[in-house]
Chain A
């Protein structure tokens, strides 16, 4: 257990979109955190992030931070296919690890990450940010309080253009495609609220971006052990300039709730040809998520999203890929690895 008053030293590995847009600014705002180092294989990105977020050191090789004795936490923000290697190496070096979602693209790797954390007795969390997203947390609480009775049927959309900022998304073996990378948010949240999934049927694939091997559109029908059913849609085929849109509704025996990020935001900013719709909050999901993990490290608590949770969520999105390939409903647990 760490000294309560001392600063937790964090190294951020991977300085791409999610690190710059979410992790680094959030870590910067957590009082008992010091961004001790940043790492990116692209030197320019590492140097820039170090400058902007006042990190002491920057590296292009992540193993360098594993050798730094005073670093407590590694925040893994690299492309999905590298999560396992970096996480396992960090845990073995005696670092706590918070890793961006998806945990990995392979169940075998997820197992290895979970087992290593246990063996090394290190904290490990996967950054499923919806579990900290203020309106989604509110939904979870409302359902728990019985506001809609027993949940029966849910819908969740997540729609945007193709994530061009990260070209690795075009390779299925790197990112898994829209359902694995993006709908995993909704799947994980629905698991949190509705319980475990036992069957998946999905349709979709590469519908628009023919230079991509990763599916750019998937919609799936999930069946939960609780008896609930859900429609989950992930789209990267919206037209250029389409605002990132999320929608959730859950109907139960005593009511219905909906969350719609385009209709219920507190702010709209119009500029030439663009409009941003959002609800600015200083304690936003990324801040709350990273703050939670730091608290878990300091207070030696189990994080809200365990490796096992992330693995179960991964299994559902992999089942969707398998279902598309076989054009039939797929039951969980999966008997074998789905090779992307």
Chain B
């Protein structure tokens, strides 16, 4: 069996740790080298995943020049995605990029262009397209089990993730930037349609000390008329039993589907700890990377492409614009 050789470019995003675990677990992938611009993180990740010291890079260019790898996973701060993705593409490496794809449409477009030009696979890490429950929903919809979609109500709640997630320069925003794109992408996938209008309101912060927003509500209308809503708020307190949720209520002409993707949990009360819900459901990170390798092998487009990342980003940016102007925003953005 051919082993696909990966590097992870930055462990700034917490998901990087899960992707590294998956690369170790899957039979046909290996984690060969890592890069990070934080010396502490480089040591921490290097030690955690037993990466040889000479395979730990503080210069991604050097890593891309020296290492014999097939693909990279970019999990830096959002604003740094662009440079890493374009450099990887220029070196002929396939790319998985953490969401949101970037913080501006200009960056996103350049990334998509670079991947196209250098003929590498470019996957946005919309792991929710690989969660077995949401995949099942896609099949149910395709079989017409609930008729035509009328409305999709979604939430992607979370705790405040800390780190750089509320740094406007690195993250490009707060909860709207972080949590709009997952369910926006699922809605695009399910409706096979694009968003026509966006209306959004950012609330007064739950955590007043944060420099970015931590709660907002978004209403969408798709071109063919499907209505949608997103609650992207970091409204879960630190002692909530689980990090958050991905919830979708899909109303069709002949039925209703309710997805509560991370509700498959064991309830645990443990000494000196708050009550926890321990998730035991599908491993969407693993499914995504497994499928990505197949995309390389079979030379096909990833299920969630760079373009999908770009389209979801546009919805998040339109939400900011709508809040700023107090108006319904039409897509595409000018």
Binding site for B on A (CB under 8 A): 152-153, 155, 157, 201, 203-204, 207-208, 217, 219, 221, 223, 227-231, 233, 235, 237-239, 242, 249, 251-256, 327-329
Contacts and interface: CB of A to CB of B under 8 A. Distances in A.
A155 B231 contact: yes
29 contacts: A152-B215, A152-B235, A153-B231, A157-B249, A201-B199, A201-B219, A201-B328, A203-B221, A203-B227, A207-B227, A208-B253, A217-B150, A217-B227, A219-B151, A219-B229, A221-B217, A227-B203, A228-B203, A229-B203, A231-B229, A235-B251, A237-B251, A238-B256, A239-B256, A249-B235, A251-B237, A253-B206, A256-B237, A329-B199
Nearest to A249: B235
Contacts, number: 97
B233 A251 contact: yes
Interface string B298-332: 00000000000000000000000000001110000
Interface in B180-218: 197, 199, 201, 203-208, 215-217
Contacts of A239: 146, 254-256
A217 B251 contact: yes
Contacts of A155: 155, 231
B254 A221 contact: no
A229 B256 CA distance: 27
B217 A231 contact: yes
Interface in B12-40: none
A229 B215 contact: yes
Contacts of B201: 201, 221, 223, 229
Given A152-B206, A219-B219, 18 more contacts: A152-B204, A153-B217, A153-B231, A153-B235, A155-B155, A201-B219, A203-B221, A208-B150, A208-B253, A217-B251, A223-B201, A228-B203, A231-B217, A235-B151, A239-B146, A249-B235, A251-B235, A329-B328
B112 to A, nearest CB: 30
A256 B256 contact: no
- 9 smallest beta-carbon distances between A and B, as pairs: A251-B235, A227-B204, A229-B203, A153-B215, A207-B150, A152-B206, A153-B203, A231-B217, A203-B227
A219 B227 contact: yes
A251 B159 CA distance: 11
A255 B237 contact: yes
A47 B151 CA distance: 43
Q: Which of A153, A201, A231 has most chain B Cβ within 10 Å?
A: A153
Nearest to A205: B227
B334 to A, nearest CB: 19
Interface of B: 146, 150-151, 153, 155, 197, 199, 201, 203-208, 215-217, 219, 221, 227, 229, 231, 233, 235-237, 240, 249, 251, 253-256, 326-328
A233 B153 contact: yes
Contact of B215 (A203, A223, A251): A251
Contact of B206 (A153, A201, A219, A223): A153
Contacts of A252: 206
Q: Is the interface of A mostly helix, strand, loop or mixed?
A: strand
A146 B235 CA distance: 16
A198 B237 CA distance: 28
Contacts of A152: 203-206, 215, 235
A329 B219 CA distance: 12
Contacts of B231: 153, 155, 231
B235 to A, nearest CB: 4
B219 A203 contact: yes
A231 B229 CA distance: 9
Nearest to A231: B217
B20 to A, nearest CB: 32
A251 B206 contact: yes
Contacts of A217: 150-151, 227, 251
Contacts of B208: 253
A327 B328 contact: yes
Contacts of B197: 327
A8 to B, nearest CB: 44
Contact of A221 (B199, B227, B255): B199
A203 B146 CA distance: 21
Contacts of B229: 219, 231, 233
A239 B252 CA distance: 9
A256 to B, nearest CB: 5
B213 to A, nearest CB: 11
A79 to B, nearest CB: 26
B240 A256 contact: yes
Nearest to B214: A152
Q: Which of B203, B205, B208 has most chain A Cβ within 10 Å?
A: B203
B217 A229 contact: yes
A228 B256 CA distance: 30
B95 to A, nearest CB: 35
Contacts of A204: 227
B235 A253 contact: no
A96 B326 CA distance: 44
Contacts of A238: 251, 256
Q: Which of A157, A207, A230, A249 has most chain B Cβ within 10 Å?
A: A207
Nearest to A226: B204
Nearest to B207: A253
Contacts of A228: 203-204
Contact of A153 (B146, B233, B326, B328): B233
A221 B237 contact: no
A230 B56 CA distance: 47
Nearest to A218: B227
Contacts of B207: 253
B236 A256 contact: yes
B205 A237 contact: no
A254 B217 CA distance: 20
A253 to B, nearest CB: 6
Contacts of A157: 153, 249
B240 to A, nearest CB: 7
Given A204-B227, A208-B150, A329 B326 contact: yes
Nearest to B225: A207
Contacts of B236: 251, 256
